[in-house]
Amino acid sequence: MGFKKAWKCQQYQGMNGPACDCPAWTSLTKTNVQTAEEKTEADCLYKMLPHLMVDVIRTSNRPYAALLEIRNQESRKTAALEALAAAVKDEKLRLAHHVDIQSGGNSWQERDN
């Protein structure tokens, strides 16, 4: 294991090539999260490192994006509920005024809780 083939990456392209005893030669199994398909790649770690870093960043941003989407959905729901509550209050006031006019002021009175 004297690393005789070290740093000669162009000779070892993928899993089908001859075995490489370079310490930077790495094989990784990647899983596609959408299809659950697994793929094994072999290459020089120095060539793979930029791609691995991008994958790590994408993976770490995925939960944050999901949280932002949930927050935005809840914000839209809250705004819709507030608008509905305001519309109900306005309708309640309108109906209370209508009832008060027709009964001569002797019936139900508007009370806010």
How far is Cα of residue 6 from the mean position of the Cα atoms in its chain?
41
Specify whether the CB–CB gap between 21 and 9 falls below 8 A: no
> CA-CA distance, 6 to 22, in Å (whole number)?
4
Domain ranges for the chain: 9-81
pLDDT value, residue 87: 92
Give the CA radius of gyration of the chain.
33
Split at pLDDT 50, 70, 90, the class of 21 is low
> CA-CA distance, 42 to 58, in Å (whole number)?
21
Question: Exposure string (b/e) for 19-53, b if CB count within 10 Å is 16 or more?
Answer: ebebebbbeeeeeeeeeeeeeeebbbeeebeeeee
pLDDT value, residue 63: 82
User: Of 43 and 113, which is predicted with more confidence?
Assistant: 43
pLDDT value, residue 96: 80
DSSP assignment of 30-88 equals EE-TTT--EEEEEEEHHHHHHHHHHHHHHHHHHHHHHHHHHHHHHHHHHHHHHHHHHHH
pLDDT digits (tens, 9 = 90+) for 69-107: 899 999 999 999 999 999 999 888 888 877 665 555 555
